[in-house]
Structure 1
Amino acid sequence: MDIPLTAGATLRPLVLPARADAADAGEFRELARVRNLVYREITGRDEDDLTPEALLPILRSRKERTTVVWAVRIGEEIVGRAIVNIPHEEGSRVAIVSIELRPHVWGRGIGSAVLPHLEDVARQHGRSVLQEWLEQQPSDGPRIEAQTGFGSVPDDHVSRFLLRHGYQLEQVYRVSHLTLSPETIQHARELLADARASSTDYRVVHWMLPTPADRAEGYAWMKSRMSTDAPSAGIETDEETWDVARLQEGERRLAEMGRTVLVTAAEHIATGELSAFTELAIGPDHDAVTHQEDTLVLREHRGHRLGQLVKCAALLEWLDIAPRSPRVITYNAEENRPMLSINEAMGFTPTAYEGAWKKELT
């Protein structure tokens, strides 16, 4: 049933098809196309494009979360989408929300008309905190500082919309790129040698997904630590429980998406404990950009240059997996100075910023 909004727009709940190429998947495929358009129009890049086949597994509800999706329409034209994710971690107060509209329909009150429907879903699930992550269009104008004091985003239409509706900017992520050239590769070799000299109690290990059985438990433990050890500022982060079953289910989704993923980890030689890791991933097109996904050094193993060790080792290993990929993109919290310093030393350059916004429901 279509929900009337304003300015001729409607909100239509999206029923996900069983397959992206199913006979009834036309609306979903159009939504995927519009999603990519929105990202391109806002960021000026196509690196976040997803095929319908890759998007479908992301939007399905799963054991760890419930996902609700709507298409925003004007007449028969899809002009955006709205999403609510409800994490299932025990005691969670959080709903993760997103309103994505084509810029040509901004300023008509459509986003303001959509937001109460997202809040209703959050309340129905007993949630009192809304959180949203947004990359905004570059601007040389006034800025809004994060609550942490680290980083800022443009004081633009998007920021004003969020502030008007009770959100605060809690954290800023830096989006950085590394061009894969002979010079940056040679520099990575030098940085790797330097890191090895400071981490003689550790060895580097690599594997491709799916994770081998002898690494699954340790890797799942490190994934669970992403929710407790990574900087989160004022953003509420539910402590996640990862076991081997959850890890394997996530890897099946990545395989369905057509992702190739390398995991590079540091293993503590004396105990065999996996102590740090990073992930490099790419879609079916190996000429496209490489995404650096989760990267973490466990708190109890910090101070041995393990972040530099795994990031440089992964990059060099990746050359044999996706040799035609031209660059790597990564995201880091602006207050995460140790990881930013590693990126800067490797040659990553800042290209954009993403805000993490939070609203307390009354």
Structure 2
Amino acid sequence: MSPSTLEFHPIRVPGSVHGDDAADFRDMVEVRNRVYREISGHDDNRMTPEEILPVYRPDDPHERRLLWLVRAAGRPVGRLGIDLPLEAGSRSAYLLIELVQDAWGRGIGSAAETLLVDVARREGRSILQTWVEHPAAEGERLTPPTGYGTVPHDHAARFLLRHGYTLEQVIRVSAYDLHGPHEHLAVLAEDARAAASGYRTVQWELPTPDAHVEGYAWMKSRMSTDAPAAGLVVDEEIWDADRLRAHDAQYLDGGRRVLVTAAVHVATGELCAFNELAIGQDPTEASHQEDTLVLRAHRGHRLGMLVKAEGLLSWRERWPGSPRVITYNAEENRPMLGINEALGFVPRAYEGAWKKVLG
């Protein structure tokens, strides 16, 4: 690849996706969607420019996100990104290098990785982490130190290993058929309610009602400390009302809808478990299950099953055109995977979580 034909063009996040200054951003979204389609063979991860724009607003006080559009001979062939958490003392950076398949094997990925490492060093970051989907393939497989799950020793794995990354965790991508039989959901929800005496559920669509802001923000903060992270480095996040409102706005400003199903400890009024279901602007596209958590002090009462089952029951009624729900779970998170399997989620793909420590 001649240097004169390769360009990593920094993307300035536009105020609107429709302005003349938004062409690079729109190209970035288009190439993103193509990359995901090539990897997975479907469009369930497709997003519109309008949906993605709020995620990259430059005034976020908690994370700085930088983007580049990759052009080869003037043609968009990929995108690069680095997310920099702004938690005090953070050493981490989250990278993405995404190229269309006909751009593979031309040295573009290596040049991109060098650029991102240089940025991370300038920003004082020494721990680089990235997530990559690994399509099913025959042959040698890699197992993370957790001992749970494997991924193929494929093109992406060889690239990451060559550049000093280690596989730390395997993520299972599962799908639930929203158009399939669902009578079992009501049974599972009823059984969970019986086991969760002393708790009740509450649901809301974003924006979060004022009465639930404090409790929901606390639970969101615990996602950074309580979810299985294997050998990855995750900064503890501090959530307050402002951060939660900004979280809500990322969805709402992009035209996305989110249903939160939460469990309340009746004796104290404390929110103690939650599940999120989200859908984009097109109600006939796939839905996504986002965060789910049960606070440590309230585990053992089947609250995970309760909020997930009740969420799916409501979701089927609200969005009957959506064909499926996609969710992501660490392979070692057997309690949550057991709930998903009982609900009817089936494995669909696997991601590798990779880490590189800079010397």
* TM-score w.r.t. length of structure 2: 0.97
- For the residue of structure 1 that corresponds to 2:21, the secondary structure is coil
Aligned residue in 2 for 1:239: 236
**Which of 294, 300, 309 pairs up with 2:291?**
294
CA distance in 2, matches of 1:144, 1:197: 42
Give yes or no for contact 1:11–1:72 (8 Å, CA) kept in 2: yes
- Which residue among 216, 220, 233 is the counterpart of 1:223? 220
What residue number does 1:129 align with? 127
* 47-56 or 350-359: bigger deviation: 47-56
1:161 — aligned with what? 159
Aligned partner of 2:303 in structure 1 is 306
Matched residue, 1:250 = 247
Is 1:274–2:271 an aligned residue pair? yes
RMSD: 1.3
Matched ranges for 1:1-362 at <5 A: 6=3, 8-61=5-58, 62-181=60-179, 183=181, 185-362=182-359
Q: Secondary structure at the match of 1:160?
A: helix
Q: Is the 8 A contact 2:213 2:241 kept in 1?
A: yes
8 A Cα contact 1:36 1:49, kept in partner = yes
Q: Secondary structure at the match of 2:317?
A: coil
SS in 2 for 1:246: helix
Q: 1:89 to 1:11 in 2, by over 3 A?
A: same
Shift of residue 7 of structure 1? 8.6
SS of 2:273 mapped into structure 1: strand
SS of alignment partner, residue 20 of structure 2: coil
Q: Is the Cα contact below 8 Å between 2:264 and 2:273 reproduced in 1?
A: yes
Q: Structure 1 regions of 5+ residues with no counterpart?
A: none
Answer whether contact 2:178 2:316 (CA < 8 A) is retained.
Answer: no
Structure 1 residues 199 and 7 mapped into 2: Cα distance closer, same or farther (>3 Å)? Answer: farther
Question: Separation in 2 of the partners of 1:188 and 1:202?
Answer: 19
Q: How many Å apart are 1:5 and its aligned residue?
A: 7.2
Give deviations 1:216-245, integer Å, cap 9, x for gaps: 110000000000111000010100000011
Change (3 A) 1:40 1:264: same
**CA–CA distance in structure 2, aligned partners of residues 245 and 16 of structure 1:** 22
Equivalents in 1 of 2:188, 2:65: separation in Å?
Answer: 42
Change (3 A) 1:345 1:161: same
Instruction: Please give the secondary structure, in 1, of the residue aligned with 2:278.
Output: strand
Q: Are residues 250 and 5 of structure 1, via their aligned partners in 2, closer, same or farther at CA, if it must alter by over 3 Å? A: farther
TM-score, length of structure 1 as denominator length: 0.97
CA distance in 1, matches of 2:293, 2:3: 44
Deviation, 1:6, is 4.7
Q: Distance in 1 between matches of 2:249 and 2:310?
A: 25
- Distance change (3 Å), C-alpha of 1:230 and 1:256: same
Moved more, 24-33 or 260-269: 24-33
Is the Cα contact below 8 Å between 1:6 and 1:113 reproduced in 2? Answer: no
Whether contact under 8 Å (2:273, 2:303) holds in the other structure is yes
- Give 2:339's aligned amino acid: I
CA deviation string 1:273-309 (max 9, x = no partner): 1110000000111111110000001111110110000
**TM-fit CA distance, 1:125:** 1.1
Q: Partner letter of residue 80 of structure 1?
A: G
Instruction: State the shift of 1:138 in Å.
Output: 2.0
Distance 1:338 1:7, change over 3 A: farther
Deviation at 1:324, TM superposition (A): 1.6
Conserved in 2, the CA contact under 8 Å of 1:176 and 1:352?
A: yes
Unaligned 5+ runs, structure 2: none
Asked if the contact 1:170/1:235 (under 8 Å) is kept, the reply is yes
Distance 1:210 1:5 in 2: 49
Number of residue equivalences: 358
